[in-house]
Structures are given as structure tokens and as C-alpha cells.
Chain A
């Protein structure tokens, strides 16, 4: 945005009575105006107003965190569409997937988007963690945000794993059988944990319902909550860094 002599139509709209009620900080001329405009915008409030030049370049972050968030958004959107056509019972689940692929408008395509977004998200969240490690971004004062990131990685894996069962095909059934058998190796509580997960001793209708509820309600809520804390702390820490580097700002 340049400093302009002539206000544009949008500038005039922002300065009108209604515009002021919407934007709160209507002027866009000086850097101070721009900071105020950023600060009063709901969609921008998850970002700090200013950052160091080195932190915004591709070599710093590769934008992997932003990409993970975008993939989560893609998963929510495609997942909600799929929910309209899916019932989590062993009798219906498989034929629901078949009709999604053959009868539902764009069903096959949306299912593809959901599946590939999920695999990519696991990859990119892991890559995000590695990138954060190599640039030392877990150091003071961001130690706890790294811990929250580890929680988010675990939630992402659980999200992917619970979703894996839902098509109720041979691939899903046996992958979940093998995966939950691993949980049973934990001494003392392993078998109990597995039975709570499965709702029985083998993968069955109770398992499908449990994984479905975890997949569409419990885990997404936890991810949104944890991700909010993750981003909130990221913004706070970015501003803290500014304070440390330039005490006059």
C-alpha cells in the first residue's frame, strides 16, 4: 500500500460512517495507520503486525506450518462433505463409500482430496517439526510451543489413524487391527487401552462408531484448540523477539 494523495473509492468507503463502524481504523496513509488497521482486523489478529525480515523468507520456515494449517482446512471442508453421505456402521459404511464414488456429485474427487490431504498433512507436519529443529526455533522463549507442537503431531497421527478405519475395507480393517495391537504391548494398561479404543477385543461395530466420533468430533476439536494456542504463542513470541531486538520499538 502506498502513501496516496488521492483517496480511492475503498478509502472513501472506509472513512464513511458505516465504514468506520466496520474497520475501526479507516486511514491507510501512514505506517501507524497500517499497524492500527492490522491490529483491528479479526482475520489478521493471529499474525504479529511486524516481523523480522529473515523470519518471513522461504529459507527460514519453508512455510510448512502455514501449509499444515491449509491442509487441515482442506480436510475439514472435504470431510464435512463426506459426512453427508456416510453412516458409521459395518452394514452401511462400505456401500456408502461405494456410492460416494459412483453416485454422489464429485464424491470420488472429494474423497481423493480428503485422502491425499491427510497423508500430505502427516508428512508436512513432520517436516515442519524437523525444520523448526534445524533453525533452532524451539529455543527460549519458545520451548513450550515446541511441546504443544509435539502434541499436535500426535493428534495429527491419531486423526489420520482413526480416519483410516472408516472405509471399512480390508485395508482399513487390518491396518487398524495391526495398529491397535501395538498399543497392547504397553505393560499393565496396554490391553485395557486397546479394549477401550476398540470397544471389545477385536475390531467391530463398536470400534467403527468410536473411531468415527473421535475422527469427526473429539480430535478436530482438540486440534482446533491446540492449534489456536500454538498460533497464539507463536504471535506473542514473535513480538517478544521484536522487543528484545529493538527495545525502542
Chain B
């Protein structure tokens, strides 16, 4: 931290000469290696990084919007049911589950357990370790659930066609955003 070393400089502090006997610097100099726990000012160190990430994500959105138009189909018509009938992509995993299990399981028990599990997670996993290698059980469990959920989402979004039958997305495309 540059401010710290400046303040520790025994000869000049904030432009004022300090009189007095000071111990000699060690031969290697008194330069400190920056440590991970060192405190740094949020402005500018974090704010510059946040500004760059903000501009990066905005640039992505603005570029996607140049090249891809938001979809707009025909006007809503309650008498014509499209086939397949798809929920938005973030509910595709649930819809896929509903195709395999009883609605009470897929529509209530599984999502309910997931929400309760997420809310309760910090109160279940009480170990003090932060690094993934010290908390294998928690990391493996979470990763399995996450992987299954991502897989189900991709299947429901891209691999399902008419009557919720299996399709290959590169042959027939039924995903809607």
C-alpha cells in the first residue's frame, strides 16, 4: 500500500522533514510484499474494477441488442395451442421434471425442497472453512444439484419438441427466449 510506505518513510512525512535518530533500513530495503489480507481503499481499487465490469456487461447487452431482435410472434390466441407448449427457459428444468414425475413430486416437493434447502444452507453447513477443498461434502452436494439443474434446463429448453418428445436441436429448434 503506497500510502503506508510513504507514512513510514522516516525522512519526509507529508512534505515535512522529521528530525531525529532513526534506525537504518535493513539491507534488503523495507519493501513489503502485498498480502491478501492487506486493507486497500475501495476507492479507487474496487470502484475502478466495478466500473470496468459494469461497462463490460453493458457492452455485451448493447452489442447483443444490435445483432438480435427480441422475439415477437403472432398475437395471443387462446384457441390455438402451440405444440410444444414451453415455459420460459428458467422454468424449463421444472417442466422437464413434470414430464417424468407425478405433479406433486415435480411441481411441489422438489422445488419446495430446493428453496428450503437454499434458504437453510448457511444454517446447515456450520463449518468455518471457506476454501472448497476443506468442505468437500457441501461442495460436492451443491455441484451435483447445480449440474442436474443445468442439464434439465438445457434438455427442457433445447431438446424437447412436439408433445414434449425428444428432438436434436441442430435438426429441429424449439427453444424460445
Contacts and interface: CB of A to CB of B under 8 A. Distances in A.
Contacts of B107: 182, 185-186
B64 A147 contact: no
Nearest to B36: A54
Contacts of B113: none
A109 B70 CA distance: 9
B88 interface: yes
B87 A175 contact: yes
A113 interface: yes
B65 A109 contact: yes
B135 A136 contact: yes
Interface in A128-176: 130, 133-140, 142-144, 146-147, 150, 154, 157, 160-161, 164, 167-175
A202 B80 CA distance: 14
Given A113-B61, A169-B76, A52 B53 contact: no
Contact of A58 (B34, B49, B61, B129): B49
A51 B86 contact: no
B22 interface: no
Interface stretch (A10-18, A93-101, A211-219): A93-101
A149 to B, nearest CB: 9
Contacts of B60: 120
B78 A51 contact: no
A119 B177 CA distance: 8
A80 B50 CA distance: 25
Which are the 7 A-B pairs with shortest beta-carbon distances? Answer: A185-B107, A136-B130, A143-B122, A112-B65, A173-B76, A115-B70, A63-B53
A197 B7 CA distance: 63
Interface of A: 1, 3, 5, 29-31, 34-35, 38, 44, 47-54, 56, 58, 63, 66-67, 70-71, 74, 90, 94, 97-98, 101, 108-109, 111-117, 119-120, 122, 124, 130, 133-140, 142-144, 146-147, 150, 154, 157, 160-161, 164, 167-175, 177-179, 182, 185-187, 190, 202-203, 242, 245-246, 249
A47 B36 contact: no
Contacts of B68: 112, 116
B122 A47 contact: no
A111 B68 CA distance: 11
Contacts of B78: 173, 202-203
A116 B42 contact: no
Contacts of A47: 42-43, 46-47
A47 B35 CA distance: 21
B98 interface: yes
Tell me the dominant secondary structure on chain A's binding face. Answer: helix
A187 B112 CA distance: 12
B170 to A, nearest CB: 22
B146 interface: yes
A84 B75 CA distance: 21
Interface residues of B, number: 81
Q: Counting chain A CB atoms within 10 Å of each CB, which of B7, B14, B61, B80 scores highest?
A: B61
Given A108-B69, A168-B76, A179-B87, A51 B61 contact: no
Contacts of B88: 160-161, 164, 175, 179
A226 to B, nearest CB: 14
15 contacts: A3-B3, A51-B39, A53-B39, A66-B54, A71-B57, A115-B177, A116-B68, A170-B75, A170-B77, A174-B86, A178-B87, A182-B91, A182-B107, A186-B108, A187-B104
Given A98-B72, A138-B125, 16 more contacts: A52-B37, A52-B38, A56-B42, A63-B49, A70-B58, A101-B69, A119-B89, A122-B90, A136-B131, A139-B128, A161-B91, A170-B80, A170-B82, A173-B77, A182-B95, A182-B98
A131 B128 CA distance: 17
Contacts of A143: 122-123
Contact of B121 (A53, A138, A177): A138
